[in-house]
C-alpha cells in the first residue's frame, strides 16, 4: 500500500500545529505515529510540510480510543487498517501494565540510560495525558508507597535528577515559544521531592502555559513576593504526602487569601484528604494530574487572566 495519502482537491487541510490543537496529540507524537508505524499518512506541501484532512483527524481520534484502553501502539498499527469493528478491541497484552513493571524495575536498578530511553519513547508514541495517567503517575505512586516502607534515597534522587534534567529542557524551550500565563509550581513542605511537581509542570507546559517550577517548597512568607516578581497568574502546589493539618487548615488558606491569583493543590495529597472539607480559598484540583491541570483554564478564566 502506498504511504501517500490522497484526498479530493476541495478537502480542507490542516497543518500539524492545528491538528495537535484539535486532537491534543503533540506534533512529536504525530510524526512518530507516521514514521515508525504508518498510522497516519498526511499530504505534504512542496516544501515538505504536513497537511492533514478531516479523515486523518478522525483516524487520530480512533487511535486515541484504542490507546486510552491500553492497546499498544504496535497493536493499533495492526488493527487500524482492518474493517471497522462494532466495538473497540480489548488490549491483548496489558501493555501499560508491562511498561509500569518495566519502569519500576529500571528505577530500582538505577538504570539511568534505560529510564531516559523509556521516557523519550513514551512521550514520542503516546499523548502526554495518556502517558502520565497510565505510566508515570501510577509508577510514582507505587514508588512513593514503597519508599515510605523502605526508603531508597539513591533511587529517588536518581529519578528526580533525570526527570528534572529532561523536563527542565522541555520547559526552557516551551517557555520561550509561548506567551501563555505563567504558572508557579512548587512542592509542599512535607513532600520529599519534586516528582509530582515535575509531572504537573510537564502537563501545564503542554497546555500552553509558561511554567516556573521550584524544586523545593517555597516558604509561604515568600510566596506573595514570588508571585509579584515572577508575574505569576496561578500558584500550583503539589504533594504526594498528607501534609501537616495546621498548614493545610490554617496557614495555607490564610496565605492564599492574601494573593491576587488562584491557588491550586494537586497530587496524591488530594486522595489523602479527599474526605475532609475543603477551603474556598484553595482549589483542590484532584490527584489525577491530567484532570487537575485541565482545571487550571476555568480558574484562570474566572480570574480574568484568559
Q: Sheet holding 263-266: strands in order across?
A: 210-213, 182-187, 234-238, 263-266, 283-286
- Asked if 210 and 287 sit in the same domain, the reply is yes
- Asked if 100 and 49 sit in the same domain, the reply is no
Domain membership flag for residue 298: yes
Three-class SS state of 111? coil
87: confidence class by pLDDT, cuts 50, 70, 90: low
**Residue-wise burial string across 159-182, b where 16 or more C-beta atoms lie within 10 A, e elsewhere:** bbebbbebbeebbeebbeeeebbb
- Asked if 36 and 120 sit in the same domain, the reply is no
* Structural contact between residues 63 and 76, judged by C-beta atoms closer than 8 angstroms: yes
Domain membership flag for residue 197: yes
Domain of residue 277, residue span: 175-302
Domain end among 24, 48, 79: 79
Domain end among 159, 189, 211: 159
Q: Where are the beta strands (DSSP E) in 136-193?
A: 182-187
Q: Which residue has the cell 484504542?
A: 66
Among the ranges 34-43, 70-79, 239-248, which has the highest mean pLDDT value? 239-248
Q: pLDDT tens for residues 267-286? A: 999 889 988 887 888 999 99
Does the structure show a pLDDT above 80 at 233? yes
Domain membership flag for residue 101: yes
State the total domains in the chain: 3
Q: pLDDT tens for residues 155-212? A: 999 999 999 999 999 999 999 989 999 999 999 999 999 999 999 999 999 999 999 9
Domain end among 51, 79, 107: 79
Domain membership flag for residue 231: yes
- Asked if 119 and 199 sit in the same domain, the reply is no
Q: pLDDT tens for residues 123-157? A: 988 889 999 999 999 999 999 999 999 999 999 99
- Asked if 280 and 183 sit in the same domain, the reply is yes
Domain membership flag for residue 1: no
What number of other Cβ atoms are within 10 A of residue 117's Cβ? 12
Domain membership flag for residue 165: no
End-to-end CA distance of the chain: 46
36: confidence class by pLDDT, cuts 50, 70, 90: confident
In this prediction the pTM is 0.81
Domain membership flag for residue 242: yes
> In degrees rounded to 5, what are phi and psi of residue 47?
-90, 5
Amino acid at each position: 500500500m502506498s504511504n501517500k495519502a490522497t484526498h479530493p482537491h476541495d478537502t480542507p487541510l490542516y497543518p500539524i500545529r492545528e491538528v495537535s490543537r484539535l486532537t491534543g496529540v503533540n506534533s512529536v507524537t504525530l510524526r512518530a505515529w507516521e514514521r515508525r508505524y504508518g498510522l497516519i499518512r498526511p499530504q505534504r506541501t512542496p516544501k515538505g510540510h504536513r497537511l492533514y484532512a478531516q479523515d486523518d483527524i478522525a483516524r487520530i481520534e480512533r487511535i486515541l480510543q484504542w490507546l486510552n484502553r491500553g492497546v499498544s501502539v504496535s497493536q493499533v498499527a495492526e488493527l487500524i487498517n482492518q474493517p471497522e469493528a462494532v466495538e473497540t478491541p480489548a488490549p491483548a497484552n496489558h501493555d501499560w501494565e508491562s511498561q509500569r513493571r518495566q519502569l519500576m524495575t529500571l528505577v530500582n536498578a538505577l538504570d539511568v540510560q534505560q529510564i531516559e530511553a523509556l521516557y523519550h519513547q513514551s512521550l514520542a508514541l503516546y499523548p502526554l495525558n495518556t502517558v502520565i495517567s497510565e505510566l508515570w503517575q501510577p509508577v510514582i505512586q507505587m514508588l512513593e508507597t514503597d519508599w515510605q516502607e523502605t526508603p531508597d534515597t539513591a533511587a529517588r534522587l536518581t529519578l528526580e535528577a533525570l526527570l528534572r534534567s529532561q523536563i527542565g529542557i522541555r520547559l526552557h524551550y516551551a517557555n520561550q515559544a509561548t506567551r501563555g500565563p505563567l504558572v508557579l509550581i512548587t512542592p509542599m513542605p512535607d513532600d520529599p521531592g519534586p516528582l509530582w511537581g515535575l509531572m504537573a509542570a510537564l502537563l501545564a507546559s503542554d497546555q500552553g502555559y509558561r511554567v516556573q517550577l521550584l524544586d523545593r517548597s517555597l516558604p509561604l512568607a515568600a510566596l506573595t513576593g514570588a508571585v509579584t516578581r515572577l508575574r505569576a497568574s496561578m500558584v500550583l502546589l503539589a504533594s504526594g504526602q498528607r501534609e501537616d493539618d495546621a498548614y493545610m487548615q490554617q496557614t495555607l488558606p490564610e496565605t492564599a487569601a492574601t494573593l491576587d491569583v488562584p491557588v491550586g493543590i494537586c497530587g496524591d495529597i488530594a486522595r489523602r484528604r479527599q474526605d475532609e472539607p475543603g477551603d474556598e480559598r484553595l482549589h483542590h484540583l484532584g490527584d489525577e494530574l491530567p484532570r487537575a491541570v485541565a482545571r487550571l483554564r476555568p480558574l484562570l478564566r474566572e480570574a480574568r487572566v484568559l
